[in-house]
Amino acid sequence: DYATEVFGGLERWEEAEALARKMGKEILGVRKSTVNEVVMGKLGWWRMKGRRDFLRLLYWRGIVMSKKGLRWEVYQEGRRRIGRDKGTWCDYTKKMMKEVGLEEYWEEQDVMVVHKKTWRVIVWKKIQDKEQEEWRKRMDSKRKVRTYRVIKSELETEKCLEEGTAQKRRVMAMVRGGTNDLRIETGRYEKLEEKERICIFCESGE
């Protein structure tokens, strides 16, 4: 995350996103085939883009509140160039603040007075709402997480990660995440319809 408040728009961050997802699966002890949204949901993680946007807005407040120094002068020049230079720091920041519902602060920045801790709470809530909404949309498009969607709707760390042994937590994650050895899951590899994925052990027809 080093200096992401300044260099948050680099395309190379996709590599960091992939690394974060990989480490999430290592932490949970689940299979590589586990859907990324399950990993993010169990750990309560934002995408790294969300983290970058959060840090960017904390940094933005520092610039606006200081109203002096070299970075303030550079920032003012950046504001004047919005609309002329696409993809600049100020251009992205303005658009992002509008996306998360903080446009009023951008418009009132010349007279804005917000305490550092208060601003942090405001920004965290806005980014959390945005990340959670997009996380839900991504899950809605994936059939494999049909069970997980029923039991998990909030993007927050699950309490079960603090209970039991590592093996118990791993099995729970696999059962919820659709990467277990139950026939309802393994039947997809045989290209069976869901109603045909009957348990071959208990003879219950379930």
3-state SS of 97-145 is HHHCCCHHHHHCCCCCCCCHHHHHHHHHHHHHHHHHHHHHHHHHCCHHH
Q: What is the DSSP letter of 47?
A: P
Query: Looking at residue 8, what is its pLDDT?
Result: 55
Cα 141 from Cα 168, distance rounded (Å): 28
What CA–CA distance (Å, rounded) separates 50 from 70?
27
Alpha helices in the chain (DSSP H): 4-7, 13-28, 36-43, 48-66, 70-80, 89-99, 103-107, 116-140, 146-151, 166-177, 183-186
Output b/e per residue, 150-159; b: 16+ Cβ within 10 A. eebeebeebe
**Cα torsion 172, 34, 139, 87: sign:** positive
What does the block give as tokens for 39? 């990993």
Tell me how far the alpha carbon of residue 41 is from its chain's centroid. Answer: 9
The region of weakest confidence among 21-30, 91-100, 160-169 is 160-169
pLDDT at 11: 60
> What are the tens digits of pLDDT across the range 11-49?
667 888 889 999 999 999 998 888 999 999 999 999 999
8 Å CB contact between 38 and 138: no
Task: Supply the pTM of this predicted model.
Answer: 0.83
How far is 122 from 115, CA to CA, in rounded Å?
11
Backbone torsions φ then ψ of 137, nearest 5 degrees? -60, -40
Q: What is the pLDDT of residue 84?
A: 86
Q: DSSP code of 181?
A: S
Q: How far is CA 103 from the centre of its chain?
A: 21
Give tens-digit pLDDT for 53-62.
999 999 999 9
